[in-house]
Amino acid sequence: MFEATLPFPNIDPVAIHLWHGFGIRWYAISYIVGILLGWWWLGRTIRDRSLWTNPPFNGKPPATTEDIGDFVVWATLGVIIGGRLGWVLFYGIFLCSVTPESAAYCRGLPMDFVNHPIRIIAAWEGGMSFHGGAIGVILALWLYCRNRKIDFARLGDLICTVVPIGLFFGRIANFVNGELWGKPSNVPWAIVFPNDQLHLPRHPSQLYEAAMEGLLLFTIMQVSLRMFRLHERPGLLSAIFLTGYGVFRFVSEIFREPDTQFIGSFSLGMAFSIPMWIVAAILYWYAFRPRPAA
């Protein structure tokens, strides 16, 4: 028999109520705070001259603080557009086509995207994909680096050191919204989420993800950069980030209630870790490939 021991902190998902049902949600604030803190931390990293003394940088960081400020606009668009379109493609179209009856959010999807196209952009109803956002940011980074003639791998490594900041605040917002909860459990910290129609104590898997994908991964990235100076092998920090996120997301999916069944107990979130590890393997090869003699 399940018995919850921790109450859910019933926080209003709308942080600031405006008018006629419109307001500013904590989820939107989490995006804003994550982007601003990431911007600030990147500027701090760029200005740390001790990080850029050795080859291949030779005293010149991969970008200026002005470059970072400009890229924030590109990255924001990549996160929002990529995150929403990723959810539409991966979940609204693919997953709802495979098992439309097992996920409440499907509600007529994917055909409803044709009948009511507004649902394609209706992020306020819920539905943002990290993997879609990651693809959007990578595409934005590639276009930006091409436009500014900046080294893609070096700036990509730098961006990866702050992505966990956004992941942390995003998962905290998921918890505040009472969404993406975990599987039923009798652990002492299990919680009954108000939107759960079954009213079962569950793992607060959002907090597990905030701890692993946010705090722990941020620590790993900063230690790799500042203590071991792994940015001096371009591509290596990006590989570590993809490896770490893939592992932590896979582990969290063990405790998280899947959006819908994919292949038995193997969830779509677990499946998405595989291509991340493949890309990471390519980046490890790129980082450790033999370098031409100077």
Tens-place pLDDT, residues 75-109: 999 999 999 999 999 888 887 887 766 566 777 88
Does 115 fall in a domain? Answer: no
Does 83 fall in a domain? Answer: no
Looking at the 3D structure of the chain, how many domains does it have?
1
The domain containing residue 263 runs over which residues? 1-21+151-294
Q: For 277-288, what is the mean pLDDT? A: 98
Does 81 fall in a domain? Answer: no
Q: Are 133 and 116 spatial neighbours (Cβ–Cβ below 8 Å)?
A: no
pLDDT at 39: 97
* Cα–Cα distance, 38 to 183 (Å, whole number): 31
Does 118 fall in a domain? Answer: no
pLDDT at 72: 96
Does 65 fall in a domain? Answer: no
Does 53 fall in a domain? Answer: no
pLDDT for 2 beyond 60: no
pLDDT, greater one: 86 or 23: 86
Q: Over pLDDT 90: what percentage of the chain?
A: 67
Residues 25, 219, 269: CA angle, nearest 5 degrees: 60
pLDDT at 21: 66
pTM over 0.75: yes
* Cα–Cα distance, 70 to 97 (Å, whole number): 39
Does 1 fall in a domain? Answer: yes
pLDDT, greater one: 90 or 147: 147
pLDDT at 46: 97
Does 231 fall in a domain? Answer: yes
Which ranges of 7-94 does DSSP label H, i.e. alpha helix? 26-46, 65-87
Tokens found for residue 158: 């730098």
pLDDT at 293: 56
